[in-house]
Amino acid sequence: MNNTLAYQQLIFEGIKGLSPEVLVEVVDFIYFVRKRTFQPAAFEEELRTVLLDTELRGLSRDEESHLEKEFEDYDKLYPRE
């Protein structure tokens, strides 16, 4: 129990003077750790969703790049008359 209080005091002292923007990051991290600790199934599902979304965005960028290259000279190759 004594270690818990010492950690809480370290955290409290460590956040003093931080800007609101940084405090938002600290709160976000606290919720991340709590969810991972107390709701592991929900955490895993959220992690899978984030990873899938990230991969799909990457594919979309790759596809967009491919299409841009494919149609780069389209107007020159197929002029409208």
- pTM as predicted: 0.53
Mean pLDDT of 42-58: 86
Rounded distance between C-alpha atoms, residue 77 and residue 28, angstroms? 52
Domain positions in the chain are 18-77
Q: Kindly indicate the confidence band of residue 1, based on its pLDDT and cuts at 50, 70 and 90.
A: low
Our CA dihedral for 40, 41, 47, 51, rounded to 10 degrees, sits at 150
Residues 6-17 have pLDDT tens digits of 999 999 999 999
**Summary mean pLDDT of the chain:** 87
